[in-house]
A and B are shown apart, each in its own frame.
Chain A
């Protein structure tokens, strides 16, 4: 039996085109991810030298440890340089840590990182690394204990402290110093995680059409989401989270429980009833736009003849951002959201300009960022499309059987 494609309805034709383009987009993304893995690792030598500039030269002991000599004849041993690893907001971070033979931190230099540039520069501008110099390998290197983290960049600060400690331990183990007893990683289930679980529960059950106080509950979750996930904890869902997930940079669950609840919760809600409670119910930036909308009387505005063009532009932008991130294996590099710009006042001039434009537009158009620009919206559409496609195949197979 042949199918006459000319007789297909425009909706089915569009659906087929979307599936075809979606498939091609995924194949290209997979290719980018493979190329990203195969690409040569960053040259670590400048950071190794940078961590101990007074050294005449360094001698490789193994791929993670070097000996730093003060003279060409190798008579004066200054110390060791170890490549310590930490887990940041965007992914793994490598720091070259210069350590004296007695276990004192002499210097440190970032060899590679995957952090969002504006966050990383905030940490670097605040000289967090220089506060770690002079510490001993036996120190705990814990935020709010012996390390003062940078406000608004907790994950990055923690990763730096973690990497410097790992580097000092690597050296100590090599020199034969007695390592301090490693305490088990603490499970961080605090206010942030409790608020998130609460919002997911209200969002999940509130979504049901039978719920009587849907409108009130939605405004309640939106305000709580904006205040806590936005202004207090600044941890909205960003493209960097999705990129991290795709690249396999899965952080330690004990200290990143929030990340797992957020990603897991959304995927669970999608697979169970095809609904995403996060975006509509408690996305802090969505709530900020709706608050602006209440002030200006915003409405859902039709983009008329440009509808499909704008839809594909948004998809293209998101796809491009994921593609570059996969290619360079840096999740935060192309994360262009302006959430931190609003909630922490961190961002480039372009981001502040973008935020201004979006907030003004929010006065007249309902959620302009979500509708036309947010890179997470196309990701959500894609998951929905795949789910529908799989369900369709499943039903067909069942009918045949």
Chain B
């Protein structure tokens, strides 16, 4: 029984190690990518960046009107 248990454990361990390493590798890739973004390596050139112009209506100056209280009937 013990031998069977050890055998199945030995079969599981490589898979556990693989999952561990892949997870860690993913975190390392995220870390390096983050550094590259911070350093401006993955940055768009200004000319290539699409720009959007939005016309905004001028807001009236002066104090804001106070809302009327809602009175429950």
Pair from one complex: yes
Chain A interfacial positions (CB closer than 8 Å to B): 117, 301-306, 309-310, 313, 317, 321, 324, 328, 330, 333-334, 336, 348, 350-351, 353-354, 357-358, 361, 365, 368, 372-373
Inter-subunit contact B35/A357 (CB<8 Å): no
List the A residue with the shortest CB-CB distance to B37: A117
Selected interface stretch from B14-22, B55-63, B65-73: B14-22
Contacts A302-B10, A328-B39 aside, 19 further interface pairs with beta carbons under 8 A come to: A117-B38, A301-B13, A302-B14, A306-B17, A313-B21, A313-B25, A317-B25, A321-B32, A330-B39, A333-B35, A334-B32, A336-B28, A348-B31, A350-B30, A351-B27, A353-B27, A354-B27, A357-B20, A372-B21
List the B residue with the shortest CB-CB distance to A118: B35
Question: What are 5 A-B interface contacts by the 8 Å CB criterion?
Answer: A117-B34, A117-B39, A309-B18, A324-B36, A373-B28
**Given the contacts A117-B39, A301-B13, A306-B18, A354 and B24 also touching, CB distance less than 8 Å:** yes
Q: Chain B interface: which size bin? A: 20 to 34
Inter-subunit contact A301/B28 (CB<8 Å): no
List the A residue with the shortest CB-CB distance to B11: A304
> A302 CA to B23 CA in the complex, in Å?
18
Inter-subunit contact A372/B24 (CB<8 Å): yes
Residues of the B chain whose Cβ atoms lie less than 8 Å from the Cβ of A328: 39, 41
**Cβ-closest 3 pairs across A and B:** A304-B14, A350-B31, A354-B27
Inter-subunit contact A302/B13 (CB<8 Å): yes
Inter-subunit contact B39/A373 (CB<8 Å): no
Q: Which of B21, B23, B31 contacts A310 (CB 8 A)?
A: B21
Q: Which of B14, B31, B34 contacts A354 (CB 8 A)?
A: B31
Chain B interfacial positions (CB closer than 8 Å to A): 10, 13-14, 17-18, 20-21, 23-25, 27-28, 30-32, 34-36, 38-39, 41
**Given the contacts A350-B30, A372-B24, A373-B28, A310 and B35 also touching, CB distance less than 8 Å:** no
Inter-subunit contact A310/B27 (CB<8 Å): no
Inter-subunit contact A336/B20 (CB<8 Å): no
Inter-subunit contact B38/A372 (CB<8 Å): no
> A146 CA to B66 CA in the complex, in Å?
57
Residues of the B chain whose Cβ atoms lie less than 8 Å from the Cβ of A348: 31, 34
> A253 CA to B54 CA in the complex, in Å?
57
Residues of the B chain whose Cβ atoms lie less than 8 Å from the Cβ of A351: 27, 31
List the A residue with the shortest CB-CB distance to B30: A350
Inter-subunit contact B27/A350 (CB<8 Å): yes
List the A residue with the shortest CB-CB distance to B32: A334
Residues of the B chain whose Cβ atoms lie less than 8 Å from the Cβ of A333: 32, 35-36, 39
Inter-subunit contact A336/B32 (CB<8 Å): yes
Residues of the A chain whose Cβ atoms lie less than 8 Å from the Cβ of B35: 117, 333-334
List the A residue with the shortest CB-CB distance to B28: A336
Residues of the B chain whose Cβ atoms lie less than 8 Å from the Cβ of A324: 32, 36
> A351 CA to B30 CA in the complex, in Å?
9
Residues of the B chain whose Cβ atoms lie less than 8 Å from the Cβ of A117: 34-35, 38-39
Residues of the B chain whose Cβ atoms lie less than 8 Å from the Cβ of A357: 20, 23-24, 27
> A357 CA to B13 CA in the complex, in Å?
16
> A399 CA to B41 CA in the complex, in Å?
52
Residues of the B chain whose Cβ atoms lie less than 8 Å from the Cβ of A372: 17, 20-21, 24
Residues of the B chain whose Cβ atoms lie less than 8 Å from the Cβ of A361: 20
Residues of the B chain whose Cβ atoms lie less than 8 Å from the Cβ of A336: 28, 31-32
List the B residue with the shortest CB-CB distance to A301: B13
**Given the contacts A117-B35, A333-B35, A303 and B14 also touching, CB distance less than 8 Å:** yes
Inter-subunit contact B20/A301 (CB<8 Å): no
> A302 CA to B20 CA in the complex, in Å?
14
**Given the contacts A333-B35, A354-B31, A301 and B17 also touching, CB distance less than 8 Å:** yes
Question: Nearest Cβ distance between residue B27 and chain A, in whole angstroms?
Answer: 4
> A353 CA to B24 CA in the complex, in Å?
9
Residues of the A chain whose Cβ atoms lie less than 8 Å from the Cβ of B17: 301, 303, 306, 310, 365, 368, 372
Most chain A beta-carbon contacts within 10 A, residue among B20, B25, B38: B20
Question: Nearest Cβ distance between residue B12 and chain A, in whole angstroms?
Answer: 10
List the A residue with the shortest CB-CB distance to B13: A301
List the B residue with the shortest CB-CB distance to A114: B39
List the A residue with the shortest CB-CB distance to B33: A350
Inter-subunit contact A306/B14 (CB<8 Å): yes
Residues of the A chain whose Cβ atoms lie less than 8 Å from the Cβ of B38: 117
